[in-house]
């Protein structure tokens, strides 16, 4: 640049000097007509002269012939209109009319058609002249070179394209813009003459664009970026640029595509993705709350040691729903005991306990834990101001401690079960931007409800258990007492009956001897008296025997085996054949189950029952005795029925009593211990005894035994 300027200045000065010196010698050149004609004829550019009125060719040069393919004769027969493609002729005519009188007309770029039909571009310059008295124009047609053609084509791209084509100078000014600028952004070419690139770019995008450009100035590589350009009407459009700097020319060639729609679409998508993401996050949050509740509930219900469980829940709460969690439970004296304090940092927990030691609980405090415990209502304080800490702290050190604990937001939720407050859960946020929302409150209250119910349950359960234990202890004591009494009784009855036998034997023996001794001398009355003595003794002996059996039944160990009751009954019946003698007895023995029982004892049961049946059917001509069984609720119920003299149900309660009889011994012998034995034995097997009867209509005796599942 500098050198050029220098050169120019030098030349100017030379010329000036020369002129001063009067040394401008113009070479004298005189050309004759032929020579001038030669200029026309042999001009490398096509030239012709045409009549302005008729538009007919008057003269053409060689170049015209060469370039267009027509001969001179052809030309002279044509008008200039024939040079143009048909579609361009109206424009030509229009132009001629308008500019016919312009002396020099540089009318620009036109399309011409050669004889072969080839279309090419030319630049036309024409001069008004006179030829042979006619108004004519001298035309010089400079054909476009291939490069120029190509350039023209490319220029058309720029013209037609909706993309923004521009050449931007390094300073930012627009050297060239295509019509798309007007179509797309609203700027006509002359609008942009006074504007720079910077004026159009959205302020936020300036940095990015310039940075990319500057970074690549050294290279020729294409730089791609996007930015927003301001349209004439103030709107912004997103443009995606493809730029190439041409460093020597100090310009940047740029093609920009309007991607506003795309951007809009993308924005919509990203917005909807945002919404989705937020929705998902919300759902996750809800899920998390639920998951927390489930975990907390599980933790609460895992055992009845509610203290441990509450501690576990407090641990769960941190840091999911709070930075601090404390659980207080009201003790019997109405004061709360701090069950758990949880923080992710154990040192903080210690500080918390320190505070508690220094600031003991005041039941009538207007806010905080005491209030919650009194009212049974949640208290949420979302912005604990430092002033409050200052006001509450008694010493500077305490204030420091308060601050260390980081009490920014607190929520105290009461544990209420069935209307009474059992304690409270305190949740604290130690970071300034976390606050307790309505959702948090609901979550905490839900948790508190479950916890409170758990505590209540646990307390009830433990009370129940204690009662149970006390009860069982009592039962055990009573059982032991009873067992002891039983043993004493049985031992007593044993020893009594055992020891009573000997004297009995003696009475009997000597009575008999006496009878023999006085046989000849005693009268009937005396003999009768002696007989009565013997009978009484015998009876007493039987009573004692029965008593012994009864006492033994209570004391001996039961040896349980599977016993086929049918076999037992059959065996007992067979053993009774002597007692039956010649009587008519019909035995109806149905299917009987197999039970787990002491064979000897069960045998005794049947001996007694069947013996009784046999005894009390003696007045009947034909005794009918049946033994049936039925399964009821896992028990076998056996029934021994007879058609004997029956009994009055009024006295049924006495039936199974020891030595109780409903008939007198003169009618039916017996000590009345048989059924007592039956009852005792059946009881020891875990069954029950009962009876049914009607005077003179027979009797049914039932007993139940637990089933083993067999038979």
Partner 1 sequence: MIMEAIKSILLAEDNGMDVELTLEALGRHRLANDVVVVGDGAEALDYLHRRGKFEGRPEGNPAVVLLDLKMPKVDGLKVLKEIKEDAELRTTPVVVLTSSKEETDLVKSYKLGVNAYVVKPVDFHEFVEAVSKLGVFWAIVNEPPPGSLRRNQ
Shortest CB 556 distance to partner 1, Å: 7
Is the preceding peptide bond at 670 cis, omega within 30 degrees of 0?
A: no
Identified binder of partner 1 from the candidate list 28, 29, 218, 502, rule CB under 8 A? 502
Is position 511 an interface residue for partner 1 (rule: CB under 8 A)?
yes
Identified binder of partner 1 from the candidate list 99, 510, 562, 586, rule CB under 8 A? 510
Q: Following CA atoms 273, 279, 282, 284 in sequence, which dihedral angle do they give, to the nearest 10 degrees?
A: -80
Cβ atoms of residues 252 and 209 within 8 Å: no
Is position 512 an interface residue for partner 1 (rule: CB under 8 A)?
yes
Closer to partner 1 by CB, 176 or 540: give it: 540
618: Cβ contacts below 8 Å, ≥ 6 apart: 583, 644, 668
The CA distance from 93 to 577, in Å, is: 157
Query: For partner 1, how many residues bind (rule: CB under 8 A)?
Result: 22
Identified binder of partner 1 from the candidate list 275, 315, 498, 694, rule CB under 8 A? 498
Closer to partner 1 by CB, 119 or 513: give it: 513
Shortest CB 705 distance to partner 1, Å: 24
Distances from the Cα of 418 to the Cαs of 371, 450, 453, 455, 642, in angstroms? 19, 12, 8, 12, 62
Shortest CB 578 distance to partner 1, Å: 17
Identified binder of partner 1 from the candidate list 501, 566, 620, 684, rule CB under 8 A? 501
Is position 508 an interface residue for partner 1 (rule: CB under 8 A)?
yes
The CA distance from 615 to 623, in Å, is: 10
Is position 490 an interface residue for partner 1 (rule: CB under 8 A)?
no
Closer to partner 1 by CB, 223 or 544: give it: 544
Identified binder of partner 1 from the candidate list 60, 424, 537, 640, rule CB under 8 A? 537
The CA distance from 644 to 659, in Å, is: 21
Q: What is the DSSP string of 249-268?
A: TTEEEEEEEE-HHHHHHHHH
Judged by CB under 8 A, the stretch of 87-95, 261-269, 318-326, 536-544 that binds partner 1 is 536-544
Is position 506 an interface residue for partner 1 (rule: CB under 8 A)?
yes
Q: What angle do CA 20, 25, 29 make, to 5 degrees?
A: 155
DSSP at 557: P
- Report the candidate in 88, 95, 74, 96 with the shortest Cα–Cα distance to residue 120: 88
Cβ atoms of residues 628 and 641 within 8 Å: yes
Identified binder of partner 1 from the candidate list 118, 505, 531, 588, rule CB under 8 A? 505
Judged by CB under 8 A, the stretch of 96-104, 322-330, 543-551, 622-630 that binds partner 1 is 543-551
DSSP at 558: P
Shortest CB 493 distance to partner 1, Å: 13
Binding mask 18-47 toward partner 1 (x if CB under 8 A, else -) reads ------------------------------
Q: Following CA atoms 497, 501, 507, 510 in sequence, which dihedral angle do they give, to the nearest 10 degrees?
A: 180
Is position 554 an interface residue for partner 1 (rule: CB under 8 A)?
no
Residue 306's CB is within 10 A of a number of other CB atoms, namely 22
Is position 569 an interface residue for partner 1 (rule: CB under 8 A)?
no
Closer to partner 1 by CB, 32 or 578: give it: 578
Identified binder of partner 1 from the candidate list 52, 96, 177, 548, rule CB under 8 A? 548
Q: Strands, E, within 199-267: which ranges?
A: 223-230, 236-246, 251-258
Binding mask 516-535 toward partner 1 (x if CB under 8 A, else -) reads ------------------x-
Is position 8 an interface residue for partner 1 (rule: CB under 8 A)?
no
Does an H or E element contain 630, and which? strand 622-632
Identified binder of partner 1 from the candidate list 35, 264, 486, 556, rule CB under 8 A? 556
Judged by CB under 8 A, the stretch of 31-39, 185-193, 539-547, 583-591 that binds partner 1 is 539-547
- Report the candidate in 97, 137, 105, 151 with the shortest Cα–Cα distance to residue 124: 105
Q: What is the DSSP string of 498-547?
A: HHHHHHHHHHHHHHHHHHHHTTTT--HHHHHHHHHHHHHHHHHHHHHHHH
Is position 112 an interface residue for partner 1 (rule: CB under 8 A)?
no
Closer to partner 1 by CB, 318 or 542: give it: 542
Closer to partner 1 by CB, 294 or 518: give it: 518
Binding site for partner 1 (CB under 8 A): 494, 498, 501-502, 504-506, 508-513, 534, 537-538, 540-541, 544-545, 548, 556
């Amino acid at each position: 640049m500098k050198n050029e300027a220098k050169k120019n200045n030098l030349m100017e000065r030379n010329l000036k000097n020369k002129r001063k010196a009067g040394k401008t010698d113009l070479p004298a050149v005189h050309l004759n007509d032929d020579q001038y004609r030669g200029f026309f004829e042999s001009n490398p550019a096509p030239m012709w002269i045409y009549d302005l009125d008729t538009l007919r060719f008057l003269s053409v040069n060689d170049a015209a012939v060469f370039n267009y393919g027509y001969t001179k004769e052809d030309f002279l027969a044509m008008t200039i209109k024939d040079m143009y493609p048909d579609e361009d002729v109206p424009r030509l005519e229009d132009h001629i009319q308008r500019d016919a009188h312009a002396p020099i007309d540089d009318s620009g770029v036109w399309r011409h058609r050669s004889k072969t039909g080839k279309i090419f571009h030319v630049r036309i310059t024409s001069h008004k002249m006179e030829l042979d008295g006619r108004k004519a124009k001298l035309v010089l047609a400079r054909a476009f070179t291939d490069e120029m053609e190509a350039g023209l084509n490319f220029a058309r791209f720029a013209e037609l394209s909706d993309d923004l084509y521009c050449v931007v100078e390094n300073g930012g000014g627009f050297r060239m813009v295509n019509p798309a600028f007007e179509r797309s952004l609203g700027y006509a070419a002359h609008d942009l003459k006074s504007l720079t690139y910077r004026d159009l770019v959205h302020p936020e995008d300036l940095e990015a664009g310039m940075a990319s450009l500057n970074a690549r100035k050294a290279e020729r590589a294409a730089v791609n970026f996007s930015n927003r350009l301001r349209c004439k009407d103030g709107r912004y459009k997103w443009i995606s640029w493809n730029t190439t700097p041409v460093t020597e020319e100090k310009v940047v060639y740029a093609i920009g595509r309007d991607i506003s729609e795309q951007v809009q679409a993308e924005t919509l998508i990203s917005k909807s993705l945002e919404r989705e993401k937020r929705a998902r996050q919300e759902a996750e949050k809800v899920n998390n709350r639920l998951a927390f509740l489930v975990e907390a509930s599980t933790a609460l219900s895992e055992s009845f040691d509610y203290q441990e469980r509450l501690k576990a829940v407090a641990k769960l709460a941190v840091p999911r729903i709070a930075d601090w969690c404390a659980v207080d439970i009201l003790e019997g004296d109405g004061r709360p005991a701090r069950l758990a304090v949880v923080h992710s940092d154990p040192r903080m927990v210690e500080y918390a306990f320190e505070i508690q030691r220094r600031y003991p609980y005041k039941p009538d405090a207007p806010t905080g834990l005491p209030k919650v415990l009194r009212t049974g209502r949640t208290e949420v304080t979302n912005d604990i101001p430092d002033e409050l800490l200052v006001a509450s702290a008694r010493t500077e050190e305490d204030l420091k401690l308060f601050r260390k604990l980081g009490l920014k937001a607190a929520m105290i939720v009461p544990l209420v079960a069935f209307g009474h407050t059992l304690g409270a859960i305190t949740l604290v946020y130690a970071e300034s931007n976390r606050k307790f929302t309505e959702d948090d409150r609901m979550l905490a209250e839900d948790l508190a409800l479950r916890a409170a119910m758990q505590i209540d349950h646990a307390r009830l359960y433990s009370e129940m258990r204690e009662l149970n234990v006390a009860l069982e202890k009592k039962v055990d004591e009573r059982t032991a007492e009873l067992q002891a009494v039983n043993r004493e009784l049985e031992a007593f009855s044993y020893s009594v009956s055992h020891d009573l036998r000997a004297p009995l034997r003696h009475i009997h023996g000597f009575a008999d001897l006496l009878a023999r001794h006085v046989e000849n001398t005693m009268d009937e009355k005396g003999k009768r008296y002696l007989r009565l003595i013997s009978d009484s003794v015998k009876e007493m002996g039987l009573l004692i025997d029965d008593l012994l059996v009864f006492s033994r039944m209570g004391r001996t160990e039961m040896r349980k085996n599977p016993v086929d009751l049918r076999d037992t009954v059959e065996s007992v019946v067979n053993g009774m054949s002597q007692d039956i003698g010649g009587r008519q007895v019909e035995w109806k023995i149905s299917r009987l189950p197999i039970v787990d029982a002491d064979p000897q004892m069960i045998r005794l049961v049947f001996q007694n029952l069947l013996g009784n049946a046999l005894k009390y059917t003696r007045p009947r001509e034909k005794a009918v005795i049946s033994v049936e069984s039925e399964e009821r609720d896992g028990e076998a119920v056996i029934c021994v029925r007879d058609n004997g003299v029956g009994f009055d149900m009024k006295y049924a309660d006495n039936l199974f009593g020891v030595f109780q009889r409903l008939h007198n011994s003169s009618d039916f012998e017996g000590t009345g211990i048989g059924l007592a034995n039956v009852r005792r034995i059946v009881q020891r097997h875990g069954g029950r005894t009962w009876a049914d009867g009607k005077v003179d209509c027979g009797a049914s005796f039932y007993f139940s035994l637990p089933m083993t599942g067999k038979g």
